[in-house]
Amino acid sequence: MRITFLGAIGTVTGSKLLVEHAGKRVLIDCGLFQGFKQLRLRNWERLPIPPEQLDAVVLTNAHLDYSGYLPILVRNGYKGPVYATAATAALAGILLPDSGHLQEEEAEYANRHGFSKHAPALPLYTVADAEHALNSFRCLPLHVPHEVAKGIRVQFRPAGHILGAATVEVSAGGISLVCSGDLGRLHDPIMAAPEPIAHADYLLVESTYGDRLHPVEGPEQLLADVINRTAARRGITVIPSFAIERAQILMYYLDRLKRAGRIPDLPVYLNSPMATDAAEIFLRFQAEHQLSRADCEGMCHVAHIVCSAEESKRLNLLCEPAIIIAASGMATGGRVLHHLKAFASNPRNTLLFLGFQVGGTRGAAIVGGARVVRIHGEEVSIRAEVVAMEHLSAHADADEIMQWLRGFTQPPRHTFVVHGELAAADALRRRISLELHWNVSVPEYRDSVELQGGRR
C-alpha cells in the first residue's frame, strides 16, 4: 500500500489522502483548502492524478475541508462512487450546493462592484456542479467492511464530532491503515465520544487542537454573559458560525438560556436556511446523537430563519438588541460578511467567534486583534467587542486526542500527524513520542510513503 498526502498538511484544510494498491487508487477525503491565499490557490490546481484514474472516494465527514473539492473532482472527470455514512451524505446534500451558491453569489457581487483582480471573477464551482457530484454518493453502514475497489476494503466507526463523522479503516494487502478524520469531544452535549480503536498497522491522526486544551468551565454562563452585556449596551451580537453542528449546538444553548430566563427574550436571527435543513437532519438521525426530540425541536424553533437576500439586507438596519447567527464560521464568505460591514465598527456590538479560526482567515485576523479587515474590497474598522469562545468546539483537544490514542492495544508501526497547523501538529507529535513512545512524524505536503506489511 502506498499513501500520498495531498492536503491537510501544515493546515487544517484540504484533506486528501491518496491510497494506492495493486493498481487501484482510492482518495480518502476530498476537501477544500481555506485560509491563506497560497493554500486557496491549490483549489484551482489540477491534482497530481487525473480524476478519471481514481477508483473510489471515501469521506470521513461532510465539512467542506473534507468534502468541498468533490464538485471540482467530478466536473474534471471523476466518474466513480463517493462512499460515506448516510448522515454524511445527507449533510453533504446541504453543504455542497450551498457552497456552490455562495461562490456564485460572491463572484457575481465581485463583478458587479468591480473589486476582483480577475475579469470576470469566476466561482470555483457552481450549484449545478455540486448537485451533479451528489449523484455519486453511496451510503455505507458503520462497522461493516466494504470493498470500494478491488483488493481495498474500508470500514467506518463513529468519530463523534458531527453527525455522520467517522474514522475509516482501510485494509489492503494485509495492511491496515486507520484515518481518524475529525475526532469529537469526550463529553459533548450532542455527539457521543469517538469510538476507540484497538489496532492499526499505520495511523493518521488529526491535530486541529494538538497544542491546546478546551476551557474546563461550561459554555452556557460565558454565552449568557456575552449576550447580556451586549444587550445592556443596546448592541447586537453577531455570531459567525458554521451551519453544520456549531449552529445547532449554539441554538440548543440559546433555547436553554431563554427558557431559564438567563438571557433576555431577544430576537434571534439565523441567516442560513442551510442550518435549518441541518437541524431537520438531527431529527431524522435521532439515534446518532444525544439530544432528545424536545431538545431538537427547541433548537429548531429558537431562531427566526432568514431566507431571502432582501431579508438578510434588512438585518443590517437593526437598531435594537438582537442576536444574528450567519455563515461562515471563520468569516471567509457568505452573508456574515455583510453583517460585519454593518456592525463591526460600532463599540456597542459584539463579534462572537466560536471555535478554531484557520490562519489566513478574517476570523483569525479579528480574533488576533486586527483593527481593520478588508471585506469586498473595502477597509472595515473593528471597534465592536471581540470574543473568542472555544467552549463550543466540536473537536477533541490535545488531552482528548491522547486519550483516544491510548485506546490502541499496541502501537501502530507508524503514526502520521495530519490536519493541523504546524505548531499544533508538532506539539502533538512530541506528546505521542514522549508519552506513548510511538514512531511518529509530521509528513510534508505531497509526501508519498510505501507502507510495509509482514510481521512486526
Asked if 118 and 94 count as a contact pair (C-beta separation under 8 A), the reply is: no
pTM (2 decimals)? Answer: 0.89
Tell which wins on pLDDT, 177 or 333: 177
Query: What is the CB neighbour count within 10 angstroms for residue 191?
Result: 22
Tell me the pLDDT band of 455, cut-offs 50, 70 and 90: low
* DSSP character string of 405-437: HTT-SS--SEEEEESSBHHHHHHHHHHIIIII-
Is the pLDDT at 119 greater than 90? The verdict is: no
Is the pLDDT at 266 greater than 80? The verdict is: yes
Mean pLDDT of the chain: 92
Asked if 353 and 366 count as a contact pair (C-beta separation under 8 A), the reply is: yes
Is the pLDDT at 217 greater than 90? The verdict is: no
The pLDDT value recorded for residue 391 is 76
Q: Which of 11-15, 251-255, 292-296, 331-335 has the largest mean confidence?
A: 11-15
Looking at domain 219-389, which of 3.30.70.2190, 2.60.120.10, 3.90.1150.10, 3.40.50.10890 is its CATH number?
3.40.50.10890
Minimum mean pLDDT among 85-94, 321-330, 395-404: which range?
A: 321-330
According to DSSP, residue 105 is labeled: H
Nearest Cα neighbor of 259 from 306, 297, 305 is 297
Q: Which amino acid is at 184?
A: G
The pLDDT value recorded for residue 456 is 56
- Mean pLDDT of all residues in 232-244: 88
According to DSSP, residue 166 is labeled: E
Q: The C-alpha cell of 299 is what? A: 433548537
- Please state, in angstroms and rounded to a whole number, the distance separating the CA atoms of residues 439 and 432: 8
Is the pLDDT at 296 greater than 90? The verdict is: no
The pLDDT value recorded for residue 273 is 63
According to DSSP, residue 358 is labeled: -
The pLDDT value recorded for residue 280 is 77
Tell me the pLDDT band of 293, cut-offs 50, 70 and 90: confident
Q: Which fold has domain 2-212+394-450?
A: Metallo-beta-lactamase; Chain A (3.60.15)
Same fold, 2-212+394-450 and 219-389: no
Tell which wins on pLDDT, 433 or 455: 433
Tell me the pLDDT band of 308, cut-offs 50, 70 and 90: confident
Using one digit for the tens of pLDDT, what is the confidence trace for 137-168? 999 999 999 999 999 999 999 999 999 999 99
Q: Which helix (H) or strand (E) holds 269?
A: strand 268-271
- Please state, in angstroms and rounded to a whole number, the distance separating the CA atoms of residues 51 and 49: 6
Domain ranges of the chain: 2-212+394-450, 219-389
Query: What is the CB neighbour count within 10 angstroms for residue 295?
Result: 18
The pLDDT value recorded for residue 333 is 79
Residue 428 zone, left/alpha/beta (φ > 0; ψ -120 to 50; rest): alpha
Nearest Cα neighbor of 67 from 106, 20, 125 is 125
Sequence-distant (≥ 6) Cβ neighbours of residue 431 within 8 angstroms: 210, 398, 402
Which residue in the block uniquely carries the three cell numbers 455562495?
102
